[in-house]
Amino acid sequence: MSAALVTGASRGIGRGIALCLASAGFDVVVNYASNAAAAQEVATQVQKRGARAAVVRGDLALAEDRARLVDASYEAFGDIDLLVNNAGVAPAVRADILEAGEESFDRLVGINLKGPYFLTQLVANRMIAAGTRGRIVTISSMSAYTASVNRGDYCITKAGLSMLTKLYAARLAEHGINVYEVRPGIIETDMTGGVREKYDRLILDEGVTPIRRWGTPDDVGRAVVAIATDLLPFSTGQVIDVDGGFHLRTL
């Protein structure tokens, strides 16, 4: 049985990815930062789907936590075939870029960008040493190219993840490790709960997405499963939009 490490798997998109992978036959390392109860609930659901689960706490902004997460993942399942860089946070307060402070910027860069960059380095080196022809998926956002001036720090970290994907795709191809970016659009999670009314209007009334509905964590999870089950063997560095067609920029 193959094994996947999914960061930020206790809720939202990460939870959806973990459950889709379990249904596809993957054992899952359920990483979380603070909500142990939610992570354990995901692990229970993974097991109900016939897969094994390991719950590992870790703050990706911290080097020691990243190292411990990787060690625990390999100890649990012997090998990791898939890394899903999903963990990410939004600004605690949306602030205009002319007024935003450095504390939020540093927090988001640490968790959203620095964490995945160096976690990927750790896992990639373990895959190379083991001869694993693994897959690495980074979950970014339509904010990688869509400017929101009241959360510039978030947009910058997501844009950085796009380059992270290209860099590791170019470096790891010789080792048979393909790297992908899955780019969600407007997904119904607790992170978007506070802007529900705004996006209902944009999606349902104004048609900002040609497919007029909210995305779901399951939509993103299905895209990850396609990669995980090697349905894209001759692609690497590829961006896969899961956004209802938002990227089409229709008039």
Distance (Å, rounded) from C-alpha 109 to C-alpha 88? 10
Q: Given 3-state DSSP classes, what are the helix, strand and coil percentages for the chain, each rounded to the nearest 5?
A: 50, 15, 35
Half-sphere exposure of 18 (CA within 13 A, CB side): 34
Three-class DSSP category at 154: helix
Backbone angles phi, psi at 88, to 5 degrees: -170, 155
Q: Catalytic annotation on 199?
A: no
Q: What are phi and psi of 56, to 5 degrees?
A: -135, 120
Q: How far apart are CA 221 and CA 16, in angstroms?
A: 6
Q: Identify the H or E element spanning 70.
A: helix 63-77
Residue of 74, 117, 145, 154 with catalytic role: 154
List b or e across 47-65, with b for residues whose CB sees 16 or more CB atoms inside 10 angstroms. Answer: eebebbbbbbbbbbbbeeb
* Region label for 249, one of left (φ > 0), alpha (ψ between -120 and 50) or beta (otherwise): left
Nearest in space to 18 (alpha carbons), one of 34, 35, 41: 41
With H, G, I as helix, E, B as strand and everything else as coil, classify residue 183: strand
Catalytic residues: 154
